[in-house]
Amino acid sequence: MSYPTTTPAPAVLVLEDGSRYLGRAYGSHGQTLGEIVFATGMTGYQETLTDPSYAGQIVLMTAPHIGNTGANDEDMESSRIWVAGFVVREPARVPSNFRSQRTLDADLESGDIVGISGIDTRAITRHIRSLGAMRSGIFSGESFNLSEGEQLELVRGGASMRGRNLSDEVSTVEPYSLPAKGERIGSVAVLDLGVKTSTLNYLAERGFEVFVLPQSVTAEHVLSLNPSALFFSNGPGDPAASDAHVTLLQEVMRAGVPYFGICFGNQLLGRALGFGTYKLPFGHRGINQPVLDKATGRVEITSQNHGFAVDMPIEGISESKTGFGRVEVSHYSLNDQVVEGIRCLDIPAFSVQYHPESAAGPHDANYLFDRFRDVVVAHAAAGAGDAK
Instruction: Report, as residue numbers or ranges, the catalytic residues.
Output: 263, 355, 357
- The region, left, alpha or beta by phi > 0 then psi within -120 to 50, assigned to residue 312 is beta
- Nearest Cα residue to 355 out of 307, 303, 308: 303
- Nearest Cα residue to 197 out of 166, 164, 160, 234: 234
Q: Angle between the 264-272 and 243-254 helix axes, to the nearest 10 degrees?
A: 70
Q: How many H helices and E strands in the chain? A: 10, 20
Whether the CB-CB separation of 92 and 65 falls below 8 Å is answered with yes
User: In whole angstroms, how far apart are CA 339 and each of 39, 168, 268, 315, 330?
Assistant: 19, 26, 13, 10, 8
| Residue 349 β-bridge partners | 259
Is the bond leading into 360 cis (omega within 30 degrees of zero)? Answer: yes
- Nearest Cα residue to 358 out of 320, 302, 319: 302
Contacts of 280-283 with CB under 8 Å at 24 or more apart are 280/306, 280/307, 280/308, 280/309, 280/338, 281/129, 281/132, 281/133, 282/37, 282/38, 282/128, 282/129, 282/132, 282/133, 282/307, 283/37, 283/133, 283/307, 283/308
- Distance (Å, whole) CA 191 – CA 214: 6
Radius of gyration in angstroms for the set of CA atoms belonging to the chain, rounded to a whole number: 21
- Distance (Å, whole) CA 259 – CA 251: 12
Whether the CB-CB separation of 140 and 106 falls below 8 Å is answered with no
